[in-house]
């Protein structure tokens, strides 16, 4: 039972009891002593009227709200469109991104943010967003109202960009994204020295992918260059630390050019490598032999072993390796010769199998041609290294048996799409079978970068995962704009190159993120000490296409969410929604009333009416009492 119903029931019972008392008293009086019938009727009617007026005083009924539509001008809003959208009871406001000239031309009232506009117009029932969309600071304030938004066309150029903030030393930097309305576009990825590392031409949807080998440790800024009818450049910051190096253990059944160039690649990439190559008779070449136990294997991230070296391990060593794989170690078994019964047994132990020989696979392996496009810039091609300008890839070797494993994933394909290596999960680690040999020919034929990328990608996929999540910015960070800092330890400082410190406020209710406003562009250190991770802040006007895309997507998500959320009916209570983001707390009902159609009316008119009715009832009851008393005295006289 609701409170309103309980109050109404109590008042009705009280009015009924009082009316019954008056009716019984009226019947007990003699005919000469009874007051007039109209007086009794008035008293009974006023009893229920007082009860009703008291209920209206305690719980005043709702009144109709004259809702208005708030038209919001954002970035790139046309003044004529804003005037046409303002019709009827619409109120036109302009946020700072709209610009002073556009706001003046449209006759809009300038507002510092949307929350201020909603506090000044609490009767607003809906939002109509014009232009490019709402900034991050206005999204929380807009969640309490229905939002209408029709995004304009994106500007031509780069509108999506995805690149990791950190890459292990010796790893591969993978850059992908999308360009919009950029005909004849060509993209180039340049290293910090300005040498072209990769080129690509967008597909029909405008998407592209580039990659470059990260050799040196420390912070570096790569460059993404868009050429064609639309030209633009973007910074690609990368923080590679020596501590990010993968720890490799290489076991080979015999010396040869393949393990030799694997050792050279690991050395050039700055990886921690220990290798052992069997010479026969119990003699090994390379580093000192290791004990295959849990403690030793925990010091490595990836074990690369060929079938002959695997067969040379005893049962205890193999069991220790498999136990280490379940704990996170990566394992790659290289097939370098025609598989015999021992090799097939080893594969079955690892959860793999080899199919029957396929005549199609008898031919030499041809990898997919390098993705570096032909260029008329000969200087850039020569500066980029031997891979640029020569897309021919030498033929490599493999065994003509397909790799079979349920639930496995392809790690490497040839030019025809046939899988050359596959991996499957095992506990917290990964096990792969590598059916590719003679990859060293890539180095001998001038494709050293291709060889490095081949093994870097495999190592990055199979090696033990990092210890934990690193601090990161949510999206593209720009100077002077709010950005979310996530996955940082509470109490961590954000320090600039000049020593300026910021104290982000950790908020568990916001997914462990905090809102920060970096004042300047450049590198920021998250924490104290030289080993603290680095994050990069772009200049305020950098990447305009990405900013426009982010605003549109955020506003569209908000509009779709409100469109699918049913609005409460009149009389239903809706709990106030609290939105937390970093150190900022926003109450949804603090900015605007609920967008329903009613509001609580004033109490004082109902109180005055109740007071008047109660006074009249009191007078009637007193006068009736005096009349009935006088009649009884007169009737008793002789």
Instruction: State how far the Cα of 285 lies from the Cα of 86, in Å rounded to an integer.
Output: 82
- Inter-CA distances, 243 with 455, 473, 527, Å: 19, 21, 16
Q: Which long-range contacts (CB under 8 A, 24 or more apart) does 199-202 make?
A: 199/371, 199/372, 199/373, 199/375, 199/388, 200/371, 200/373, 201/373, 202/178
Instruction: Indicate the SS3 state at residue 558.
Output: helix
Residue 262 has a CB neighbour count (10 Å cut-off) of: 22
Answer for the pair 166, 470: CB distance below 8 angstroms, yes or no: yes
> Is the pLDDT reported for residue 223 higher than 80?
yes
| DSSP state string for 428-468 | TEEEEEE--B-TTHHHHTT-HHHHHHHHHHHHHHHSPPPSS
C-alpha closest to that of 134 among 547, 473, 554: 554
| 3-state class (DSSP) for residue 327 | coil
For the residues 301-307, what does the mean pLDDT come to? Answer: 93
Q: How far apart are CA 297 and CA 613, in angstroms?
A: 92
Beta bridge pairs of residue 578? 587
Residue 63 has a pLDDT of 52
The percentage of residues in the chain with a pLDDT greater than 90, rounded to a whole number, is: 28
Residue 446 φ/ψ region, left for φ over 0, alpha for ψ in the -120 to 50 degree band, beta for the rest: left
Q: Is the pLDDT of residue 468 over 60?
A: no
pTM: 0.59
> Which pLDDT band holds residue 214 (cuts at 50, 70, 90)?
confident
Task: Flag whether pLDDT at 6 surpasses 60.
Answer: yes
Which pLDDT tens digit goes with each residue over 318-376?
A: 999 999 999 999 999 999 989 999 999 999 999 999 998 888 887 788 886 554 433 33
Q: What are the E-state strand segments in 562-609?
A: 578-581, 584-587, 598-600
Cα separation of 141 and 581, whole Å? Answer: 12
pLDDT at 35 over 80: no
Count CB atoms within 10 A of the CB of residue 624. Answer: 21
pLDDT value, residue 456:
85
226 with 232: CB under 8 angstroms?
A: yes
Q: How many CB atoms lie within 10 A of CB 20?
A: 12
Q: 381 falls in which pLDDT band (50, 70, 90)?
A: very low
Tens of pLDDT, residues 452-461: 888 988 988 8
Give me the mean pLDDT over the 593-601 stretch.
45
pLDDT at 599 exceeding the cut of 80? no
Residue found by looking up tokens 């020989």 in the block: 357
Highest mean pLDDT among 285-294, 536-545, 616-625: 536-545
Could you tell me whether strands 247-252 and 302-306 are parallel, antiparallel, or unpaired per DSSP bridges?
parallel
pLDDT, one tens digit per residue, over 390-437 is 446 788 989 999 999 988 999 998 888 889 999 999 999 999 999 999
List the one residue out of 466, 467, 505, 510 whose CA is nearest residue 489.
505
Tokens for 456? 């870097």
Query: How confident is the model over 65-118, as pLDDT tens digits?
Result: 456 789 999 998 988 888 888 876 788 999 999 998 988 888 899 999 999 999
Arithmetic mean of pLDDT over the chain? 81
Position 245 scores a pLDDT of 66
pLDDT of residue 369: 56
Distance CA 347, CA 343 (A): 6
Q: Which residues contact 577 (CB under 8 A, 6 or more apart)?
A: 143, 144, 587, 588, 589
Separation between Cα atoms, residue 633 and residue 638, nearest integer Å: 10
Rounded Cα distance between 54 and 441, Å, is: 96
Between the CA of residue 221 and those of 186, 209, 523, 537, 549, what are the distances in Å?
20, 18, 10, 11, 23
Residue 564 banded pLDDT, cuts 50, 70, 90: low
The three-class DSSP label of residue 355 is coil
Token code pair at residue 179: 């360009």
* Residue 469: predicted pLDDT: 66
| Average confidence (pLDDT) over 124-142 | 89
Of the chain, the percentage scoring pLDDT greater than 70 comes to: 83
Contacts of 248 (CB under 8 A, 6+ apart): 266, 271, 272, 273, 274, 300, 301, 302, 303, 304, 459, 463
The pair phi, psi for residue 178, each rounded to 5°, is: -150, 140
73 vs 217, more confident: 73
Provide the 8-state DSSP code for 192: T
Using the predicted structure, report yes or no on whether residue 502 has a pLDDT greater than 90. no
- Collect all residues with Cβ–Cβ distance below 8 Å to 536 and sequence separation of at least 6: 165, 219, 221, 235, 237, 239, 477, 522, 523, 524
Amino acid 62: pLDDT: 63
Residue 386 pLDDT more than 70?
A: no
DSSP secondary structure string, 282-304?
A: TEEEESPP---SHHHHTT-SEEE
Cα separations in angstroms, 215 against 168, 170, 176, 455 = 9, 5, 20, 13
């Amino acid at each position: 039972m609701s409170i309103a119903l309980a109050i109404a029931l109590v008042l009705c019972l009280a009015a009924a009891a009082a009316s019954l008392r008056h009716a019984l008293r009226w019947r007990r009086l003699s005919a000469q002593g009874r007051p007039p019938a109209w007086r009794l009727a008035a008293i009974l009617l006023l009893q229920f009227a007082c009860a009703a007026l008291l209920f209206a005083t305690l719980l005043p009924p709702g009144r109709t709200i004259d809702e208005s539509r708030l038209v919001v001008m954002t970035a790139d809003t046309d003044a004529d469109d804003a005037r046409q959208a303002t019709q009827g009871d619409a109120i036109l406001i302009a946020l700072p991104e709209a610009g002073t000239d556009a706001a003046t031309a449209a006759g809009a009232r300038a507002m510092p943010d949307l929350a201020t506009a909603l506090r000044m117009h609490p009767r607003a029932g809906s939002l109509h967003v014009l232009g490019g969309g709402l900034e991050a600071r206005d999204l929380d304030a807009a969640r309490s109202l229905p939002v209408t938004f029709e995004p304009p066309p994106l500007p031509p150029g780069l509108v999506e960009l995805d690149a990791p903030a950190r890459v292990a030393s010796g790893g591969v930097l993978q850059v992908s994204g999308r360009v919009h309305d950029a005909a004849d576009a060509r993209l180039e990825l340049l290293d910090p020295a300005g040498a072209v590392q990769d080129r690509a031409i967008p597909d029909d949807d405008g998407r592209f992918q580039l990659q470059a080998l990260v050799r040196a440790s420390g912070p570096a800024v790569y460059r993404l260059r868009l050429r064609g009818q639309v030209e633009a450049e973007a910074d690609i910051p990368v923080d590679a630390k020596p501590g990010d190096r993968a720890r490799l253990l290489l076991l080979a059944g015999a010396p040869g050019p393949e393990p030799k160039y694997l050792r050279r690649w690991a050395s050039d990439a700055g990886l921690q490598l220990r290798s052992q190559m069997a010479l026969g008779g119990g003699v090994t070449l390379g580093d000192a032999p290791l004990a295959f136990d849990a403690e030793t294997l925990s010091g490595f991230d990836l074990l690369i072993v060929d079938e002959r070296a695997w067969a040379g391990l005893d049962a205890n060593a193999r069991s220790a390796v498999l136990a280490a794989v379940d704990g996170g170690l990566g394992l790659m078994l290289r097939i370098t010769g025609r598989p015999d019964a021992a090799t097939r047994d080893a594969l079955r132990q690892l959860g793999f199998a080899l199919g029957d020989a396929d005549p199609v696979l008898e031919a030499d392996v041809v990898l997919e041609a390098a993705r570096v496009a032909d260029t008329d810039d000969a200087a850039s091609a020569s500066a980029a290294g031997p891979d640029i300008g020569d897309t021919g890839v030498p033929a490599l070797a493999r065994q003509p048996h397909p790799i079979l494993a349920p639930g496995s994933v392809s790690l490497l394909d040839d030019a025809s799409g046939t899988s050359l290596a596959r991996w499957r999960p095992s506990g917290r680690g990964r096990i792969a079978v590598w059916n590719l040999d003679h990859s060293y020919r890539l180095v001998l034929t001038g494709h050293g970068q291709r060889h490095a990328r081949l093994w870097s990608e495999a190592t990055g996929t199979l090696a033990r995962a990092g210890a934990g999540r690193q601090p990161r910015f949510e999206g593209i960070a720009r100077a002077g704009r709010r950005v979310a800092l996530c996955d940082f330890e509470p109490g961590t400082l954000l320090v600039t190159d000049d020593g300026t410190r910021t104290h982000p406020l950790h908020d568990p209710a916001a997914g462990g993120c905090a809102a920060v406003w970096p004042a300047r562009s450049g590198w920021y250190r998250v924490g104290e000490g030289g080993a603290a991770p680095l994050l990069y802040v772009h200049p305020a006007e950098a990447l305009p296409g990405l900013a426009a895309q982010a605003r549109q997507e955020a506003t569209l998500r908000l509009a779709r969410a409100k469109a699918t959320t049913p609005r409460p009916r009149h009389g239903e209570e809706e709990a106030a929604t609290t939105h937390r983001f970093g150190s900022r707390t926003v109450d949804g009902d603090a900015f605007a009333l609920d967008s329903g159609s009613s509001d609580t009316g004033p109490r004082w008119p109902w109180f005055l009416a109740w007071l008047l009715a109660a006074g009249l009832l009191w007078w009637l009851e007193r006068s009736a009492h005096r009349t009935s008393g006088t009649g009884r005295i007169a009737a008793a006289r002789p």
